[in-house]
Structure 1
Amino acid sequence: MTAQHIRIERLGAIERITLARPEKRNAQNKAMLEGLDAALKRAEFDDEVHVVILAADGSSFSAGHDNKELGDDYLQRPTVERYQFEDRYYLEIALGIRNHSKPVIVQAQGACIAGGFMLAAMADILVASEDTYFSDPTVLLGSAAVEVLFHPWALGDRLARDILFTGRNLTAAEAYQRGFVTRLVARDQLEAAAMEIAETIGKAPPFAMQMMKRSLNRNLDAQGYSVMMSAHFDTHQLVHTASKNTASAAERLANFKSIVAGN
């Protein structure tokens, strides 16, 4: 099955969803995000699916949200319009991976920038090739990180501050050392490694697996994970509003685009 910029394959008990916009380094436009959301929901309610793989065509997993589609005037749009759009397309869909009832494996390569980093971070298991890197340089856009503040939970507080304050790249090797990447493999072994894990998970009783994931998520939620994600999203929107009232907003957007293009 194929949606716009999304390819869906059924491999036994495995549903593989592939971001399929390689010519744009899988930049997430509205059509791709709608297709991803539909595919995740389809897998959610299909009892034959026990595990999901989220993969990507081309050199990169995802270079983030498609700022070109948003337009140069995006930061100048009404606050409510921008809030509702990002809530629906960025926050809800990303957390839809984290809160999916079934285990989700992300198979990442190359660039995982901003919104791409965010999608990868929602995985239960993150398999990455050695050339993968992660980056959230959104502070250079005048933004307080991406819409989901997963960084201190997934990386630890000190490393999160380092990469968010500087916008530097986090290599796959460093991410693996920190436990963010759970399997690090050569590029030509990436698909096989993700499939091997998925096949193992797919053999387990699905209800037991789903309940285990639910308990693990609740463990984090009891520590404040979900409340913090909601609180940060509002902070993210506040900074958007503050940024749009500065003369340098367009300049920062252009600078951010050049950084993403060069990464």
Structure 2
Amino acid sequence: MSWCVIRKMKEKYSSLEIVEKSPKSGVFYIILNRPSRRNALSSDFFIEFPKALCALDGNPDAKVIVVSGAGKHFCSGIDLSLLGSTATKSGSGEGLRRQILAMQDAVTALERCRKPVIASIQGACIGGAIDIVTACDIRMCSEDAFFSVKEVDLALAADLGTLQRLPLIVGFGNAMELALTARTFSAHEAKQFGLVSRVLNSKNDLDHAIQDVAQAIAAKSPLAVVGTKTVLLKSRDLTVDQGLDYVATLNSARLESPDLTEAVMAHKQNRKPNFSKL
């Protein structure tokens, strides 16, 4: 691991925390850490979050990332004080546009990160939190979770990715209704829409389920996992033929990886494979 990555891993954050709950598991947690404000997103978050993702992306021991919230709630959205100060300090429409683009980039860092990212959602998941979870690769929640695309109630259009990503996940009609009404919807509605893949009875059950899924992914070839995420995200913007051509090009290089040989040998020898780190 390079000194740069080690330094970033040890960096202290004010809005979040990086934790590997089980040593050598390969599963690292980015915990939104403002529980007294229901983990509302501060200006520090938009600086620190992409740094944390970059550090984990460059850490060969990190195989899966889980984004969760400290306390009873995942995230209540952008801190309203940040919205007020952003509008006041920007000075011009162009300055405000640059600020929005920078905040968008902090959320898009979830998709740029090569490692798969799982959102672990409990309690409130509102406004900017929807931007975050829709940019994650897998979303699971506890039964007490509730969701709202809240921006229209603040006289805004959601501008950090929800309006672009949510329709691809829940369908255009559902996304339109949720974004225009800003209504609160339940964990089970989120499951029905396809926003989350599983609803667990409690936060404890959610933690165990997330750990099981993360460990299952971490046991796979990192090269194959990264390639799968890359192809799926890339294919959103391609025709089927273009997507097939893209994955053929990607795999033509990766079929020469020692991970393929190791996977075959481990299967023949009835043992767990020992894959190379990225």
Answer whether TM exceeds 0.5 for this pair. yes
Gaps of 5+ in 2: 1-9, 240-278
Aligned-partner Cα distance in 2 for 1:84–1:146: 12
Q: Which residue of 192, 213, 218 corresponds with 1:202?
A: 218
Q: Which residue of 27, 37, 42 corresponds with 1:29?
A: 42
1:257 is matched with none
Q: How well do the aligned residues superpose, as a CA RMSD in angstroms?
A: 1.7
Cα distance, 1:191 vs. partner?
1.2
Please list, as runs of the form range in 1=range in 2, the aligned pairs for 1:34-113 lying within 5 A after superposition: 34-71=47-84, 74=87, 77-89=91-103, 91-113=104-126
TM-score for the superposition, normalised by structure 1: 0.80
Cα distance, 1:137 vs. partner?
2.2
Counterpart of 1:3 in 2: which secondary structure? coil
Counterpart of 1:102 in 2: which secondary structure? coil
2:236 is matched with 220
Letter in 2 for 1:29: S
Aligned-partner Cα distance in 1 for 2:226–2:57: 11
| Bigger RCO (CA 8 Å, 6+ sep) | 1
Seen in structure 2, the aligned counterparts of structure 1 residues 167 and 202 have a Cα distance that, compared at 3 Å, is same
Highest CA radius of gyration, 1 or 2? 2
TM-score for the superposition, normalised by structure 2: 0.76
2:258 is matched with none
Cα distance, 1:72 vs. partner?
6.3
Q: Is the 8 A contact 1:114 1:146 kept in 2?
A: no
Cα distance, 1:146 vs. partner?
3.3
Q: Is the 8 A contact 2:100 2:159 kept in 1?
A: no
Aligned-partner Cα distance in 1 for 2:132–2:215: 22
Cα distance, 1:74 vs. partner?
1.7
Q: Which residue of 1, 5, 13 corresponds with 1:3?
A: 13
Please list, as runs of the form range in 1=range in 2, the aligned pairs for 1:167-246 lying within 5 A after superposition: 167-187=182-202, 188-222=204-238
Counterpart of 2:158 in 1: which secondary structure? coil
Cα distance, 1:147 vs. partner?
2.4
Letter in 2 for 1:156: G
Gaps of 5+ in 1: 224-263
